[in-house]
Every structure is written in C-alpha cells, then in structure tokens.
Amino acid sequence: MSLKIGVIGTGAIGQEHIARLNGKLAGSSVVAVNDINSENAQAVAARLCPSAKVHATGQDLVNSPDVDAVLVTSWGPSHEEFVLAAIEAGKPVFCEKPLATTAEACLRIVEAEIASGRHLVQVGFMRRYDAGYRLLKEVVTSGQIGDPLMLHCAHRNPSVPAHYVGDMGITDTFIHEIDVLRWLVDDDYVSAQVIQGKRSRHALNGLDDPYIVVLKTKSGVVIDTEIFVNCQFGYDIQCQIVGEDGTANLPEPATVPMRKNQMAGQSIMMDWKLRFIDSYDVELQEWVQATLQGKVTGPTAWDGYFAAVTSDACVEAKRTGQIVAINTDARPDFYR
C-alpha cells in the first residue's frame, strides 16, 4: 500500500522532500502540490512529480479526496493554518519545524488535535533520526553512564547569510538542540539563561555571536550550548553527556583520517544539509510507515509547543540577561 501525499510549499526543503518521497523512499507517492507561487509549484511538479495535481490553495489540497496525508513545507507563518486544516479533515500531517511561529499558535494546534481524538501531527525535528544521536540515546537509556548530570553542547556554523539576523540563533538554529536534548535526557526544561560571548568580528548586522545558552531541567540536569554561527572553520555539532558513571559524546561524522602537508587530521563539513542528510531520509521513511499504520511515532504537536515555549524563554533570557522560567501546563495524557 502506498501513502498518497500532498505537499504544501515547493521551496527548498519541499523540493528535497518531494524527491525523497517519490524516488528514494518506499511506500509513498506525491500526488498533489501547492505553493503560494503557482508557477514555482507547476515547475517543481513538472520536474519532480509530473503526475501530481497542482492545487490553487493549500486548503484545496488538504481537502482533496486523492490526498491521504499532508506535508507542510511552506514558510513558518503559514504552518498553523495548514496543520489545523489537516486536523479538521482528519488527515495525518507532517509539518516542518516550527510547528507554528508562536507558542499560542502551537497550543491551538495541540488543543485541536486533542479535540479531534486522533494522533495526526508530527513535527520535523530530524535530529532525533540522526544515527549519532540515536546511539547516544541508547547509551543514556541503557544506563551505561548512569544518570545524566550535565550536557556540554555546541552548534557552530562556518558563517550565515545577511538575512540571518536578530534572534535567529535561537529561533532557527538552537531550536534543533531544544528538541533533541530534551528527547535525549527525557526531561522537561524549567529555566533558560543566555550568557553573551565577546562578539566575533565576523558577525554582521549587529548579530550577537557567539553566546552560551544554559537550560536547566526539572530533575536538575544543566545543559550548556555554545551557539557560534560565524565560527569560520566548519559546521560543527557537539554534544557531551556527563553522567554519574561516565561521559558519552555524539560521534563525529565518519571521514577518512589523513596525513598530508606536515599535518594529521580529518576534514570537517561546511554544509549543514550534508551533516543531517541521512536523518531526513530516516525521518520521512519512518513517518510514512507509521502513518500507514495509523500511528504518530515522531515528535508530536506537544513537542512542537514545548520547543516554542522554550525558544520564547531563551529569547527573553537573551534580551534581559535574566534567568527566565519555562512554564507550561503538565503534558496532557493524550501525549503520554
């Protein structure tokens, strides 16, 4: 059986996901597309999924009887509308991060999903599908290093474009750590603090870069993450868990050690897309399989909401220099 998918948003990641779903992955086909730019949608369909119908609006696509499940890859501010429409139509929906651009909007999605009585929504936090993070999670859950006490992490990009401004270091970059670290330690955050570093001369447009975010969890785990998006040398994701009985590190991507020009070493990736490319395949393949079985096995709407609340607290902590509390209601039974 094949899952017939409609894709809303045929920009960069929409095209990549369409190519995955139609060519590389099993059990799915893209039967419908939509984009606010209809010429773009027509061109993408012609190139990547010629038999797909191009719909005039995202709502038409969601309500089409030919569409079993919806993939939302449009820009962030449109996510809420399309995810709510899918819930109303009773259709499974995979929404790229962010679930919505405000915590209030994420909560509206959570409430709509609970009211529908069906698990329908998955959020595109793909780090949970990275082979390295999965190995690290196994080490934690097996108890090999005892209870996690502290985590030291880093998210470094070689550089960022001119349109990367303001708090995007948190809302666009650190948002991935927010989700994956909470999943790793299986604990919710209770507070956030941001400590500014000395500004790099490579940081453009008044961007604060680098800084450290410190999150504390309910059970007392302290997580520090360096965010440095103009580090120059490469795309470098680090995570070390300090446990009661040992430490565990996120494995480095496999590269060939070389000795050359009086130096010994391994290359470091420059492109974030390459670092996590395999995890996108695993993420969507597992979503297709789970959806065909009527399940949601990945990050839920509640996870999307919790990430949004945490991100807001980090932005406030960065602005004020204060330790900011992270408050949500208890996780609803629906998401346990």
Of 28 and 73, the one with the shorter C-beta distance to ligand NAP is 73
Q: Which residues pair with 265 in a beta bridge?
A: 258
Cβ 65 to ligand NAP shortest distance, Å: 20
Cβ 214 to ligand NAP shortest distance, Å: 24
Taking the C-alpha atoms of residue 290 and residue 119, their distance in angstroms, rounded to an integer, is 11
Of 28 and 279, the one with the shorter C-beta distance to ligand NAP is 279
Taking the C-alpha atoms of residue 103 and residue 205, their distance in angstroms, rounded to an integer, is 27
Of 96 and 177, the one with the shorter C-beta distance to ligand NAP is 96
Cβ 289 to ligand NAP shortest distance, Å: 19
Of 191 and 310, the one with the shorter C-beta distance to ligand NAP is 310
> What residue number has its CB nearest to ligand NAP?
11
Beta-sheet pairing, 3-8 with 69-72: parallel
Name the 3-class secondary structure at 16: helix
Of 6 and 148, the one with the shorter C-beta distance to ligand NAP is 6
Q: Could you tell me the CA-to-CA distances from 142 to 31, 145, 146, 181 in Å, in that order?
A: 42, 8, 9, 17
CB 190 within 8 A of CB 218: yes
Cβ 329 to ligand NAP shortest distance, Å: 26
**First-residue to last-residue Cα distance in the chain:** 29
Q: Looking at residue 74, what DSSP letter applies?
A: S
Of 112, 200, 199, 213, the C-alpha closest to 169 is 213
Beta-sheet pairing, 236-243 with 148-156: antiparallel
Of 139 and 312, the one with the shorter C-beta distance to ligand NAP is 312
Taking the C-alpha atoms of residue 330 and residue 255, their distance in angstroms, rounded to an integer, is 43
Cβ 334 to ligand NAP shortest distance, Å: 24
Cβ 8 to ligand NAP shortest distance, Å: 5
Cβ 78 to ligand NAP shortest distance, Å: 4
Of 191 and 225, the one with the shorter C-beta distance to ligand NAP is 225
User: Cα 268 to chain center, whole Å?
Assistant: 22
* DSSP class per residue in 236-274: EEEEEEEESS-EEEPPPPP---EEETTEEE------HHH
Q: Which residues of this chain interact with ligand NAP, rule CB under 6 A?
A: 8-14, 34-37, 40, 58, 73-76, 78, 96-97, 124, 126
Of 73 and 230, the one with the shorter C-beta distance to ligand NAP is 73
Cβ 227 to ligand NAP shortest distance, Å: 16
